[in-house]
């Protein structure tokens, strides 16, 4: 509990994520739940390790293990965009480890044939959490580590929460950021709740922003309702590469909406590259500058 309280209460100057001090391949079991010939099959799972902040005391005690439960993508995407772990690690003298999710990046169980239908049966969240458990157990056993904190965001956050639930003997604390667990448990209305959170994010950055955005969408729908006579204005207002067509309206709405949603999803206090090169606090910048200027321009055009 003490470790958890310290983690959620930390703040400070954010730094640049350093290069891994070690990149290595863990010999991982292909199937953690089948007995027989297949139980002996393994694949290489990629690990990023950063040990310059880790402390090994003279009395034999060592710092905790901070482990990131990899998401659905190459390991680099999460390592270089998860500065929080590196910012707080010096306070705990922690060893930082990122584990790549099976079937992503370079952790392909069947190489180029990994995505053949017959080989996809080993791609599941329960197999992934079992992978993480094997790696964590390796570090605990070989490095005499007694405390483990798992981290994850979005799907990775769900994985890290499940690690605490499924392997409490291995994971002492799980920090699950933006993990849609209530939606998975059907205790929240997925669509409405998600958009409410996004709206709140923009409203916190600029209280006028939600109203400006709603008015902007209202104006866009009004323009569309005028028919083909307004299509040239839509093309010009949004600087489309080709002339707007009636059957493209839903796509246009989704394009504008998703640009805002993605910024809310990666509204980090430091620059990130998940969905492109974004500065720190992108929602704040969008709310104060871009949205205001964009909507003013759009209103004038309409």
Please give the pLDDT value at position 65: 98
* Angular region, 211: left φ>0, alpha ψ -120 to 50, beta rest: alpha
* Residue 231, C-beta contacts closer than 8 angstroms, at least 6 positions apart: 243, 244, 245, 246
Beta-bridge partners for 98:
48, 68
Beta-bridge partners for 69:
99
Please give the pLDDT value at position 72: 94
What parts of the chain have a pLDDT lower than 50?
1-14
Please give the pLDDT value at position 285: 85
Please give the pLDDT value at position 178: 85
Asked if residue 17 lies in contact with residue 83, where contact means CB atoms within 8 angstroms, the answer is yes
- Strand segments, DSSP code E, in 65-142 are 65-69, 95-99
Closest Cα partner for 17 from 46, 54, 64, 50? 50
Helix (H, G, I), strand (E, B) or coil at 203: helix
Please give the pLDDT value at position 299: 54
Query: Which residue is it, tokens 């791609």?
Result: 123
Query: Which residue is it, tokens 């929080």?
Result: 84
pTM of the model: 0.78
Asked if residue 301 lies in contact with residue 236, where contact means CB atoms within 8 angstroms, the answer is yes
């Amino acid at each position: 509990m003490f470790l958890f309280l310290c983690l959620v209460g930390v703040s400070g100057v954010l730094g640049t994520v350093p290069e891994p001090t070690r990149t290595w391949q863990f010999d991982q079991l292909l199937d953690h739940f089948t007995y027989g010939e297949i139980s002996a099959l393994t694949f290489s799972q990629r690990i990023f390790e950063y040990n310059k902040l880790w402390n090994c005391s003279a009395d034999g005690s060592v710092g905790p293990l901070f482990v990131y439960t990899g998401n659905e993508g190459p390991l680099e995407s999460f390592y270089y965009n998860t500065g929080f772990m590196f910012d707080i690690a010096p306070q705990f003298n922690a060893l930082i480890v990122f584990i790549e999710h099976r079937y992503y990046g370079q952790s392909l169980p069947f190489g180029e044939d990994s995505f053949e239908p017959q080989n996809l049966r080993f791609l599941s969240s329960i197999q992934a959490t079992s992978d993480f458990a094997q790696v964590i157990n390796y570090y605990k056993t070989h490095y005499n580590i007694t405390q483990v904190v798992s981290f994850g965001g979005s799907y990775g956050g769900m994985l890290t929460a499940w690690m605490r639930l499924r392997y409490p003997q291995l994971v002492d604390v799980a920090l699950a950021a933006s993990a849609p667990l209530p939606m998975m448990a059907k205790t929240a209305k997925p669509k409405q709740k998600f958009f409410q959170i996004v709206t709140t994010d923009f409203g916190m950055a600029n209280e006028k922003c939600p109203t400006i955005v709603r008015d902007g969408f209202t104006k866009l729908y009004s323009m569309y309702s005028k028919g083909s006579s307004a299509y040239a204005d839509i093309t010009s207002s949004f600087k489309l590469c080709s002339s707007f067509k009636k059957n493209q309206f839903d796509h246009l709405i989704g394009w504008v909406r998703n640009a805002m949603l993605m910024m809310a999803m990666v509204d980090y206090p430091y620059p990130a590259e998940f969905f492109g090169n974004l500065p720190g606090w992108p929602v704040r910048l969008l709310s104060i500058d871009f949205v205001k200027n964009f909507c003013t321009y759009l209103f004038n055009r309409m």
